[in-house]
Structure 1
Amino acid sequence: MKTWSEVAQVQPLASKIITNSMKKGRVSHAYLLQGERGTGKEEISLLLAMALFCKHTSDAEPCHDCNTCKRITSGNHPDVHWIEPEGQSIKIEQIKNLQKEFTYSGLESNQKVYIIKGADTLTLNAANRILKFLEEPSKKTTAIMLTDNSQSIIPTIRSRCQIIDLQPLNPLHFQKQLMDAGLTEANARLMSALTNNLDEAIAWNEDEWFAEARKLMVQLVEMFSSNPNDVYLYIHNHWIPHFKEKKQLEQGMDLLLLAFRDMLYYHLEKGETMVVFQKDDEKLEMAVMYFSQEKLMAILHAILQAKQKLKLNVHPTLVMEQLTLQIKR
């Protein structure tokens, strides 16, 4: 999404709110863009920053060709600052450095824009520190906060921002985009369940590591129903060596979640919504016979809990071992 007209096709309400406020000269001092991954938070932030600085806008649309637009797009404009988590959170030191920037005039104009990615990861001290700007905004300073999880934003911050809700992408429309990009229908269905980001989905589809991850997931699910006594050994010999990094293990958990959800859908006669298995897959039928609806509900809950433990920095190997035992019970 590189223009407001493109944004309007995917996020019509967000596009209308922002462009109308710009045309009327009523840009908010702080925005909170909240929505799932891939819904366009960063693209909208970039467009808003460009529109605020570009000298050749037309109906709130930046020209995209001037030196200012190009530098903002490349991340090299001195008055547009991106803040993102260092590790698991945005720390108070980062906000202190940001506050120092508040005290300086813009290098090329009086306008300044701060884009805070993962605003829900602000530590409590960092969040309280950012309130100073939100409570005493400069007329020429605009903060844009981005979050996948709006409920983790403290109320005092939310109350000082114009909140813009980004709607989930239409999965069928996204699947069509993926198939137009060369993915098979089955792969497009799976990728649309894992991500809303087109480039990410295409990259995963071509990634050998991901192909192996998908294969390991199917083998693991099959072992739970056909050879449960060897599952623990399989986890240590195959699963953990492949999913070495925390982010990779989270992706593996997502694949497991979709596989067990497929089984539940099969029980509920909702085969058309499955994304990992096909209706006539023998492996699926065998697994469904082994797991009851009640057991599948418990497994889905256990996987979600395991994902939460990963976010809390519990050791990945321990998380996977505990999950394996819960599924086997």
Structure 2
Amino acid sequence: MKTWEEIKEIQPLAGKIITNSMEKGRISHAYLISGERGTGKEKIALQLAKSVFCSNKDGVEPCQTCNACQRIASKNHPDVLWIEPEGQSIKKEQIDKLQKEFMYSGLESNRKVYIIKAADTLTLNAANRILKFLEEPNKATTAIMLAENSQSIIPTIRSRCQILDLKPLNPQLFQQQLMESGIPEANARLFSALTNNLTEAIHWNEDEWFAQARKLMVQLVETFAANPDDVYLFIHSKWLPHFNERSGQEHGMDLLLLAFKDILLSHIGYEDATVVFAKSSNKLEDLVMAFSQEKVLAILNAILKAKQKLKQNVHPTLVMEQLTLQIQR
């Protein structure tokens, strides 16, 4: 997505809202752009920043080639400030540093843009600091916050932002694209359920870590079904050592979520929609017998809550232990 027209083809509502506001000279002082990974949050943020600073725009379209556009693309523009999580969260000290930056006027213009990636990882103190910015908006400042779920942002921040919820991309079309890139159908089916980023999917296809992660996920689900007394040993000896970084922990939860979705779909007769287990496999039939439809729904809800706890910086060992208890009930 390199132009607003391309953005509107993939995210028509968000693209139209932003371009209409730019055409009227009414860029919002704060945007909250939410959507799943791969839906284009960061690309939209970059495009908006370029439209603000580009000196050779064609209407609302930035030229992509001027000095400002190129530095924004490489995240080196002095008046476009990026905030990303340090560790597992965005901390108050990072927002304090941002506030100091805003004590000074723009280095190359009278405008400033700040972009907060993974805004749903803001600690409560950091969120309250950001709120002060939003309560006293500066006409020359535009805030762009990116999150996977806008509901995970505190209400007082949401109420002061223009919220743009991005729609999920079509996984079938992406699956076909993956297969055309040489990824086997089974992997393409799984990757298209996890990401909309072609580069990321190709990396996973070549990554032994991800292959082992998928294997461990299947083993864990089977252990829950056949040998529940062995689950704690499995988690501490196999699962936690492998999923030892935040991104890996999130991938593990996503894989578990897909596995139990497969079981639910099989319960209601949609085996062809499964992405983790082979269609009509004996493994899947055994798991359908082991987990009732009501139980699977409860497990899916528990996994979603566990994912949220990881984002809130709860210790991953505690999260997995609590999830295990909930699945075993």
* 2:52 is the counterpart of 1:52: yes
Counterparts of 2:53 and 2:131, CA distance in 1 = 25
The one-character-per-residue Cα deviations of 1:159-204 (angstroms, maximum 9, x if unpaired) are 3322222112122222223223222232222112222333222221
Distance 1:270 1:65, change over 3 A: same
Residue of structure 1 in register with 2:27 after alignment:
27
* 2:303 is the counterpart of 1:272: no
Residue of structure 2 in register with 1:86 after alignment:
86
Counterparts of 1:199 and 1:3, CA distance in 2 = 20
Distance 1:184 1:132, change over 3 A: same
Distance 1:165 1:325, change over 3 A: closer
Q: Secondary structure at the match of 1:164?
A: strand
With 304-313 and 68-77 compared, the bigger mean Cα shift is at 304-313
Counterparts of 1:24 and 1:325, CA distance in 2 = 55
Residue of structure 2 in register with 1:113 after alignment:
113
Query: Which residues in structure 2 correspond to 1:1-329 (within 5 Å)?
Result: 1-328=1-328
Counterparts of 2:154 and 2:50, CA distance in 1 = 28
Deviation at 1:232, TM superposition (A): 4.0
The one-character-per-residue Cα deviations of 1:249-299 (angstroms, maximum 9, x if unpaired) are 332222122112211211211112211112231221222223322332333
Identity of aligned residues (%): 73
AA at the equivalent of 1:283: K
Bigger Cα Rg? 1
Distance 1:260 1:57, change over 3 A: same
Counterparts of 1:158 and 1:224, CA distance in 2 = 39
Q: Secondary structure at the match of 1:295?
A: helix
Deviation at 1:230, TM superposition (A): 4.2
Counterparts of 1:83 and 1:297, CA distance in 2 = 36
Counterparts of 2:230 and 2:155, CA distance in 1 = 49
AA at the equivalent of 1:295: K
Distance 1:85 1:232, change over 3 A: closer
Q: Secondary structure at the match of 1:252?
A: helix
With 305-314 and 114-123 compared, the bigger mean Cα shift is at 305-314
Deviation at 1:313, TM superposition (A): 4.2
Counterparts of 2:191 and 2:259, CA distance in 1 = 13
Query: Any conservation in 1 of the 2:220–2:231 contact (CA below 8 Å)?
Result: yes
The one-character-per-residue Cα deviations of 1:38-64 (angstroms, maximum 9, x if unpaired) are 211110110111111111111211111
Count of residue pairs brought into register by the alignment: 329
With 58-67 and 91-100 compared, the bigger mean Cα shift is at 91-100
Deviation at 1:322, TM superposition (A): 4.4
Query: Any conservation in 1 of the 2:51–2:62 contact (CA below 8 Å)?
Result: yes
Deviation at 1:328, TM superposition (A): 4.4
TM-score by length of 2: 0.90
The one-character-per-residue Cα deviations of 1:120-171 (angstroms, maximum 9, x if unpaired) are 3333333333334333333322221222221233333323322222112122
Q: Secondary structure at the match of 2:55?
A: coil
Distance 1:313 1:20, change over 3 A: closer
Counterparts of 1:314 and 1:208, CA distance in 2 = 27
AA at the equivalent of 1:235: I
AA at the equivalent of 1:62: P
Counterparts of 2:227 and 2:125, CA distance in 1 = 50
With 10-19 and 82-91 compared, the bigger mean Cα shift is at 82-91
Deviation at 1:227, TM superposition (A): 4.4
Distance 1:92 1:177, change over 3 A: same
Counterparts of 1:116 and 1:166, CA distance in 2 = 17
Deviation at 1:18, TM superposition (A): 1.5
Backbone CA RMSD of aligned residues: 2.3
With 171-180 and 58-67 compared, the bigger mean Cα shift is at 171-180
Q: Secondary structure at the match of 2:296?
A: helix
Query: Any conservation in 1 of the 2:121–2:311 contact (CA below 8 Å)?
Result: no
The one-character-per-residue Cα deviations of 1:32-87 (angstroms, maximum 9, x if unpaired) are 21222221111011011111111111121111111211111111111110112223
Runs of 4 or more consecutive aligned structure 1 residues displaced over 6 Å after TM superposition: none
With 186-195 and 49-58 compared, the bigger mean Cα shift is at 186-195
TM-score by length of 1: 0.90
Counterparts of 2:302 and 2:27, CA distance in 1 = 44
Distance 1:322 1:28, change over 3 A: closer
Deviation at 1:314, TM superposition (A): 4.3
